[in-house]
A and B are shown apart, each in its own frame.
Chain A
């Protein structure tokens, strides 16, 4: 007997966890991508120090998101993960390299260049792999019964490769926004140049994906362009255009230090919302809805009690740790 429908609550929790992951690890992966273009060791120190205290906390959201999917929508977990077998593998291996680089880089002074590359290239590869996962997810999978029945390389398509590249620009934009906030002088100017390139790439990619998906998927076209949806949903593209314009201005304005990051976050919010609108209520596109893939109500209640208690604690702690490490980052602080 179901007394109360917990699926909307878990959809919200999981949606938030995934979004926090995309946002938080997004900007520190973005800093990692831009790390490839840093010119001096001093610049590299600054870039790394700007995310060193918080990156591992950011990455924990990946675990919470993954286990959250298993806990709330196990059928989706069991279908989607095999379907993106190789992108997940590549992402995990790249994240390992990038994660240990934080520790190994400064303890291993003789081999600085190897771990520097591990950090920069690892960040880029992890991002690209996540973009492929996103593209493959939007396109959907071959499913029979409760199993994925396609091949492990089916997820590599022109569309998913495109979303892979798009996410490189997107995370790059978040990372550049973060660096504008955390650095000053010539390094900040460089971050603004990177932000401009990444913004153009991101904005173009968002536009292309927004046209591509309705063209290949009549369901998505129906969702967006049928009356009255078109009236309710019109603000999404309009706001995207507005925030894009404001982002462009903020990047160019030397006095704007926080706004480039904030508008980049808002652009991510809108893109995320747009994808959610396109796919809702399906969690395995074309096959299973959120309700069909949900775990048993007993499971949702048992885990919900603790989650509703612990999640706010985690959010407060996360906020506090960002507060502790606020302000401009300097290269010369550290162990003496």
Chain B
């Protein structure tokens, strides 16, 4: 964002800006750029028009076409009064007396009933303390535990809306940024400072406790899961309105945290493993086999202890498992490494697909799969669209009319548009999958991986890159026939050597090509009218093809 004076903001940045999801300095940068740039003002206007159209759609279509509630809405006041009454009536004594009276007549049920009452008493005792007291006590213990441990450097990952950093904290505090963190961390650091939250060690019980202690008003919520405590503090004072901290229940060390600032900026922090654990090599062999055969052998005999952090190798094995199902493409499934486990989450996934994913990952240690039950969504990993349903509308610009004529009529043009949308989706899915690999396995993480793990990572990249190249090649052919022009294949692209950097470049160029193609098909009347658009599309697709070829060469040649 810092060099917006010379660079146009991406459509993603413009959307964040339009949606008020940027920090004040970032918004100011964009606003400054917009004052000077007609093109971006026009882009923003179109985004806002689309948002207005969504609102109109909601008002006109959803409000009128969806069925109304079948009955009048209930009067909520009597219902709330009933809740009040039942709260008053359900006193503890009454709740205990009734089951006791029932079991009294049957002595054989006394023992379990009494045991149950005792158990309830223990649980009630455990939770009798106010959450704030529990939170303070837990933090005190966690700080004491951290102090008693030798102070060693550890790596953490920080994600914000626009940045993705890996930092080393707890020692010299040197920061290592991935290529995607193109912007300076100065703004983030100053945000932490203004919130009185330690930037030096943002993932620690002490930093959390220091911030929490200086709050004039706060509310705590403490939950306990199988292997961790989750602490959540909300406040109305200060720049930071909500923070959460996940502490390992084994040794109370902080493994994950989130921060939500008043200006709507958010930060996710998670711990990265210190060094590769001994087991991933074997785990990778399993993953490699899975990638080839589509099934996983059991790896339970190679599990690490429950307290050890999940490793990049294990994360890679999960990604390889998903890849063998094609579930690492498209949108629904997310993989995150958090403390001692790999979390695989997703919603909107058909039951059958869920079953496949669970089955594939079943034998993998320390993998938690959280897929939501959604019977109506039978979507596979890649988005499915019915090609015939893409409509290019009755009014088209001169460019579309020209393409219609060249392709042999409106129906052919619609078919062409459908095909381009499908290919665009397909190559963007690949670009996203590659970007995910680059973000999960930055150079410093990759350097710690075994040769087998690196080979597996390379195979995954190669798969995606080959498919992406195939999509772009197909696209080139279609564009050539629609535009009636040969694409320039002599364009040279610079390569930087690091595949992670190359991936980001590939992603940026894929997105540029996507934007241009959508414009070519009539997304923006102004752009459609531009006589340079076909040349720009041709150049963009050609550049992407060259980039993908180089990328594949770089991947295969390593």
A and B bind: no
Q: Spell out A's residues near B (CB within 8 Å).
A: none
Q: Spell out B's residues near A (CB within 8 Å).
A: none
